[in-house]
């Protein structure tokens, strides 16, 4: 009997919104849950009139105005019903069985990323933080941890942390903000891409309602 084939990769970096979730953003999920509209702030951000921290501040302000006293517990409650893509459990389990590390790098909200990490067995996650006071209530401030202009910084960080190389790293994303992750990886997968640039920048494009379809590209074919 021949020994199992070794995977060519050690690390897989997943975007969260639109890849692991069926949402355009975890921020948007809270807007939807509270029935608020941030279109005005979004347009101001897109037009370069406000920066990302101010964009976060305005979004959080909308929530606090709509639900006075809103707390971290409320956000966790909303995220528990967040729609996720099929196949996350199977995908992470298969990758971990083959010795690969799995991390989430997201410009979304860290509470959502942490819930997915805990539930499905990812090794780590990084995302933006919503500040709360000692009573657990939102303060109105957010902390930008992941700069959407260069998510590749965190791919580099995890490569160093797990002692691997660019060539042995895979990144998955769905939008142009994930392209800097692709550039820091030996292989990249555009998963249900929202724009043509993401597909063009990726090694492979996968359109599916099940994330496990990416395993064919990452793992040796006789392993699953």
- Domain boundaries defined on the chain: 11-223
Ordered per-residue pLDDT tens for the chain, 224 residues = 444 556 799 999 999 999 999 998 999 999 999 999 999 998 998 899 999 889 999 999 999 999 999 999 999 999 999 999 999 999 999 999 999 999 999 999 999 999 999 999 999 999 999 999 999 999 999 999 999 889 999 999 999 999 999 999 999 999 999 999 999 999 999 999 999 999 999 999 999 999 999 999 999 775 44
Which residues fall within 8 angstroms of residue 36, CB to CB, at 6 or more apart? 62, 63, 66
According to the model, what pLDDT value does residue 148 have?
Answer: 86
How far apart are alpha carbons 97 and 106 in whole angstroms? Answer: 24
Q: Minimal CA–CA distance to 220: which of 118, 97, 138, 120?
A: 97
**Which residue is it, tokens 């083959």?**
98
According to the model, what pLDDT value does residue 222 have?
Answer: 56
CB neighbourhood size of 90 (10 A): 15
Cα-based angle 153, 30, 72 (whole degrees, multiple of 5): 80
Number of H helices, E strands in the chain: 10, 7
Quick one: CATH architecture of 11-223? 3-Layer(aba) Sandwich (3.40)
3-state SS, residue 129: strand
Take residue 210 and report the two structure tokens written for it.
């099940």
According to the model, what pLDDT value does residue 37 have?
Answer: 93
Q: Kindly list the distances between the CA atom of residue 12 and the CA atoms of 46, 86, 174, 195, 200, in Å, as whole numbers in the listed order.
A: 29, 18, 15, 22, 20
């Amino acid at each position: 009997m021949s020994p199992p084939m070794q995977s060519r990769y050690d690390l897989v970096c997943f975007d969260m919104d639109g890849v692991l979730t069926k949402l355009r953003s975890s921020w948007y999920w809270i807007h939807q849950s509270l029935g608020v509209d941030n279109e005005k702030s979004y347009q101001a951000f897109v037009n370069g009139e406000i920066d990302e921290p101010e964009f976060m501040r305005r979004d959080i302000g909308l929530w606090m105005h709509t639900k006075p006293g809103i707390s971290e517990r409320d956000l966790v409650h909303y995220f528990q019903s967040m729609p996720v893509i099929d196949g996350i459990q199977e995908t992470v389990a298969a990758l971990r069985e083959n010795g690969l590390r799995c991390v989430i790098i997201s410009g979304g909200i860290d509470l959502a990323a942490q819930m997915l990490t805990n539930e499905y067995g990812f090794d780590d996650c990084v995302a933006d933080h919503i500040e709360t006071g000692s009573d657990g209530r939102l303060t109105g401030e957010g902390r930008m941890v992941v700069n959407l202009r260069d998510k590749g910084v965190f791919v580099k960080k995890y490569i160093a942390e797990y002692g691997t190389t660019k060539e042995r790293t895979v990144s998955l994303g769905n939008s142009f903000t994930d392209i800097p992750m692709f550039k820091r990886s030996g292989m990249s997968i555009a998963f249900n891409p929202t724009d043509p640039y993401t597909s063009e920048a990726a090694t492979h494009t996968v359109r599916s309602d099940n994330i496990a379809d990416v395993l064919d590209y990452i793992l040796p074919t006789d392993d699953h």
